[in-house]
Amino acid sequence: MSALPQASATMTEAEYLAFERRSEIKHQYLHGEVYAMTGASRAHNLICTYALASLATQMRHRKGEIYPGQMRVKIPATGLYTYPDISVVCGEPKFADGEFDTLLNPALIIEVLSPSTESFDRGRKFQHYRQLASLQEYVLISQDSPRVERFLRQENADWVFTDAVGLESSLELPSIGCTLTLAGVYEKVTFEAGEQDTDPPQQA
Protein backbone atom coordinates (compact mmCIF):
# COMPACT_ATOMS: atom_id res chain seq x y z
CA MET A 1 0.00 0.00 0.00
CA SER A 2 1.27 3.46 -0.82
CA ALA A 3 2.22 6.11 1.71
CA LEU A 4 0.64 9.30 0.35
CA PRO A 5 2.91 9.97 -2.67
CA GLN A 6 2.28 12.80 -5.14
CA ALA A 7 -1.45 13.50 -5.30
CA SER A 8 -3.19 12.72 -8.60
CA ALA A 9 -6.25 15.00 -8.25
CA THR A 10 -8.04 17.55 -6.09
CA MET A 11 -11.61 16.77 -5.00
CA THR A 12 -14.18 17.53 -2.36
CA GLU A 13 -15.03 14.71 0.06
CA ALA A 14 -18.29 14.08 -1.79
CA GLU A 15 -16.49 13.95 -5.13
CA TYR A 16 -13.87 11.60 -3.70
CA LEU A 17 -16.46 9.18 -2.33
CA ALA A 18 -18.42 9.16 -5.58
CA PHE A 19 -15.20 8.57 -7.52
CA GLU A 20 -13.91 5.93 -5.10
CA ARG A 21 -17.11 3.90 -5.21
CA ARG A 22 -16.69 3.57 -8.98
CA SER A 23 -12.95 2.99 -8.96
CA GLU A 24 -11.32 -0.41 -9.52
CA ILE A 25 -8.35 0.57 -7.35
CA LYS A 26 -8.24 2.11 -3.88
CA HIS A 27 -7.27 5.69 -3.11
CA GLN A 28 -6.52 7.55 0.09
CA TYR A 29 -7.86 11.06 0.56
CA LEU A 30 -6.59 13.99 2.61
CA HIS A 31 -7.29 17.72 2.41
CA GLY A 32 -8.79 17.52 -1.07
CA GLU A 33 -6.02 15.41 -2.55
CA VAL A 34 -6.41 11.85 -3.79
CA TYR A 35 -3.59 9.28 -3.64
CA ALA A 36 -3.62 5.96 -5.49
CA MET A 37 -2.69 2.94 -3.40
CA THR A 38 -0.29 0.41 -4.87
CA GLY A 39 -0.62 -3.37 -4.82
CA ALA A 40 0.77 -5.63 -2.11
CA SER A 41 3.44 -8.35 -2.11
CA ARG A 42 2.85 -12.07 -1.65
CA ALA A 43 4.14 -11.91 1.93
CA HIS A 44 1.90 -8.93 2.69
CA ASN A 45 -1.17 -10.77 1.42
CA LEU A 46 -0.32 -13.98 3.29
CA ILE A 47 0.19 -12.12 6.56
CA CYS A 48 -3.11 -10.25 6.19
CA THR A 49 -4.93 -13.49 5.35
CA TYR A 50 -3.65 -15.48 8.31
CA ALA A 51 -3.90 -12.65 10.83
CA LEU A 52 -7.47 -11.99 9.75
CA ALA A 53 -8.35 -15.69 9.89
CA SER A 54 -6.91 -16.02 13.40
CA LEU A 55 -8.89 -13.06 14.71
CA ALA A 56 -12.07 -14.16 12.95
CA THR A 57 -11.84 -17.60 14.55
CA GLN A 58 -11.29 -16.16 18.04
CA MET A 59 -14.11 -13.63 17.70
CA ARG A 60 -16.58 -15.88 15.94
CA HIS A 61 -19.11 -15.99 18.80
CA ARG A 62 -18.43 -12.54 20.21
CA LYS A 63 -19.94 -9.17 19.53
CA GLY A 64 -17.88 -7.14 17.07
CA GLU A 65 -16.79 -7.24 13.46
CA ILE A 66 -13.50 -7.70 11.60
CA TYR A 67 -12.80 -6.10 8.23
CA PRO A 68 -10.05 -6.70 5.67
CA GLY A 69 -8.26 -4.02 3.69
CA GLN A 70 -11.24 -3.23 1.50
CA MET A 71 -12.97 -1.38 4.36
CA ARG A 72 -12.35 2.35 4.21
CA VAL A 73 -11.81 4.21 7.50
CA LYS A 74 -12.39 7.93 8.01
CA ILE A 75 -10.68 9.98 10.70
CA PRO A 76 -13.12 12.90 11.11
CA ALA A 77 -10.72 15.02 13.17
CA THR A 78 -8.10 15.15 10.41
CA GLY A 79 -10.12 14.36 7.27
CA LEU A 80 -8.06 11.33 6.26
CA TYR A 81 -9.78 8.50 4.41
CA THR A 82 -7.63 5.38 4.26
CA TYR A 83 -7.72 1.58 4.10
CA PRO A 84 -6.06 -0.21 7.06
CA ASP A 85 -5.00 -3.77 6.33
CA ILE A 86 -7.29 -5.01 9.13
CA SER A 87 -9.85 -3.11 11.24
CA VAL A 88 -11.73 -4.53 14.21
CA VAL A 89 -14.81 -3.06 15.89
CA CYS A 90 -16.01 -3.96 19.38
CA GLY A 91 -19.78 -3.71 19.61
CA GLU A 92 -21.77 -2.04 16.86
CA PRO A 93 -19.92 -0.51 13.91
CA LYS A 94 -20.55 3.12 13.01
CA PHE A 95 -20.41 4.27 9.41
CA ALA A 96 -20.13 7.67 7.76
CA ASP A 97 -23.29 7.22 5.68
CA GLY A 98 -25.88 4.75 4.44
CA GLU A 99 -23.46 3.06 2.06
CA PHE A 100 -21.86 1.28 5.06
CA ASP A 101 -18.42 1.34 3.43
CA THR A 102 -16.65 4.01 5.51
CA LEU A 103 -15.98 2.93 9.10
CA LEU A 104 -15.72 5.49 11.91
CA ASN A 105 -15.07 3.51 15.10
CA PRO A 106 -12.36 0.82 14.89
CA ALA A 107 -11.01 -0.34 18.25
CA LEU A 108 -8.02 -2.08 16.68
CA ILE A 109 -6.13 -1.29 13.49
CA ILE A 110 -3.45 -3.51 11.99
CA GLU A 111 -1.01 -2.44 9.30
CA VAL A 112 1.49 -4.74 7.58
CA LEU A 113 4.70 -2.82 6.99
CA SER A 114 6.52 -2.56 3.68
CA PRO A 115 9.50 -0.47 2.55
CA SER A 116 7.24 2.08 0.86
CA THR A 117 4.84 2.51 3.80
CA GLU A 118 6.79 1.88 7.00
CA SER A 119 7.78 5.48 7.68
CA PHE A 120 4.25 6.74 7.05
CA ASP A 121 2.59 3.94 9.04
CA ARG A 122 4.83 4.59 12.04
CA GLY A 123 4.66 8.36 11.86
CA ARG A 124 2.03 10.54 10.24
CA LYS A 125 -0.54 7.79 9.76
CA PHE A 126 -0.38 6.83 13.43
CA GLN A 127 -0.83 10.51 14.29
CA HIS A 128 -4.07 10.45 12.30
CA TYR A 129 -5.24 7.18 13.84
CA ARG A 130 -4.65 8.46 17.37
CA GLN A 131 -7.39 11.05 16.78
CA LEU A 132 -9.98 8.24 16.71
CA ALA A 133 -11.51 8.12 20.19
CA SER A 134 -12.55 4.52 19.59
CA LEU A 135 -9.03 3.28 18.83
CA GLN A 136 -7.45 1.30 21.66
CA GLU A 137 -4.69 -0.59 19.87
CA TYR A 138 -2.47 -0.07 16.86
CA VAL A 139 -0.52 -3.08 15.59
CA LEU A 140 2.32 -3.13 13.08
CA ILE A 141 3.41 -6.41 11.48
CA SER A 142 6.76 -6.72 9.72
CA GLN A 143 6.81 -8.72 6.51
CA ASP A 144 10.61 -9.03 6.40
CA SER A 145 11.12 -10.74 9.76
CA PRO A 146 8.86 -12.28 12.43
CA ARG A 147 8.04 -9.24 14.52
CA VAL A 148 4.71 -7.78 15.65
CA GLU A 149 4.52 -4.44 17.48
CA ARG A 150 1.62 -3.15 19.57
CA PHE A 151 0.76 0.32 20.79
CA LEU A 152 -1.89 0.21 23.53
CA ARG A 153 -3.81 3.32 24.61
CA GLN A 154 -3.84 4.03 28.36
CA GLU A 155 -6.47 5.85 30.40
CA ASN A 156 -4.29 8.97 30.43
CA ALA A 157 -4.12 8.84 26.59
CA ASP A 158 -0.48 7.68 26.57
CA TRP A 159 0.43 4.74 24.32
CA VAL A 160 2.44 1.82 25.69
CA PHE A 161 4.67 -0.11 23.30
CA THR A 162 5.19 -3.88 23.33
CA ASP A 163 6.60 -6.18 20.67
CA ALA A 164 6.86 -9.90 20.05
CA VAL A 165 9.82 -11.24 18.09
CA GLY A 166 10.41 -14.74 16.72
CA LEU A 167 8.09 -17.45 15.48
CA GLU A 168 7.76 -18.95 18.98
CA SER A 169 6.31 -15.70 20.33
CA SER A 170 2.74 -14.47 20.67
CA LEU A 171 1.14 -11.10 21.36
CA GLU A 172 -2.04 -10.41 23.30
CA LEU A 173 -4.54 -7.86 22.00
CA PRO A 174 -6.40 -6.69 25.12
CA SER A 175 -8.83 -4.42 23.28
CA ILE A 176 -10.52 -7.40 21.63
CA GLY A 177 -9.47 -10.22 23.95
CA CYS A 178 -7.50 -12.09 21.28
CA THR A 179 -3.95 -13.37 20.82
CA LEU A 180 -1.81 -13.45 17.69
CA THR A 181 0.76 -16.24 17.50
CA LEU A 182 3.60 -15.30 15.20
CA ALA A 183 3.79 -18.86 13.86
CA GLY A 184 0.19 -18.48 12.75
CA VAL A 185 0.55 -14.96 11.36
CA TYR A 186 3.61 -15.93 9.30
CA GLU A 187 2.33 -19.29 8.09
CA LYS A 188 3.74 -19.96 4.58
CA VAL A 189 5.85 -16.77 4.70
CA THR A 190 9.54 -17.40 3.97
CA PHE A 191 12.35 -15.16 5.21
CA GLU A 192 15.83 -14.44 3.93
CA ALA A 193 18.67 -16.01 5.90
CA GLY A 194 19.33 -14.04 9.08
CA GLU A 195 15.91 -12.38 9.16
CA GLN A 196 14.33 -14.71 11.72
CA ASP A 197 15.03 -12.63 14.83
CA THR A 198 14.99 -14.50 18.12
CA ASP A 199 15.46 -11.65 20.59
CA PRO A 200 12.93 -11.70 23.45
CA PRO A 201 9.96 -9.28 23.34
CA GLN A 202 10.59 -5.78 24.62
CA GLN A 203 8.24 -3.51 26.53
CA ALA A 204 8.48 0.21 27.13
User: How much is the pLDDT for 204?
Assistant: 39
Half-sphere exposure of 143 (CA within 13 A, CB side): 23
User: How much is the pLDDT for 196?
Assistant: 57
Strand, coil or helix: 46? helix
d(CA 34, CA 152): 30
Give all domains of the chain, ordered by start, each with its CATH number.
Answer: 41-185 (3.90.1570.10)
User: How much is the pLDDT for 202?
Assistant: 44
User: Residue 154: CB partners within 8 Å, gap ≥ 6?
Assistant: 160
List, run by run, the mean pLDDT of 10-residue segments along the chain (204 residues): 55 95 95 91 97 97 95 98 98 96 99 93 97 98 97 97 98 98 97 59 42
Task: For residue range 121-153, list pLDDT tens digits in order.
Answer: 999 999 999 999 999 999 999 999 999 999 999
User: How much is the pLDDT for 180?
Assistant: 98
**CA 202 to chain centroid:** 21
Neighbours of 143 (CB within 10 A): 23
Express the helix, strand and coil content of the chain in percent, nearest 5 each: 20, 30, 50
User: How much is the pLDDT for 194?
Assistant: 56
User: How much is the pLDDT for 182?
Assistant: 99
Say what the pTM is.
Answer: 0.90
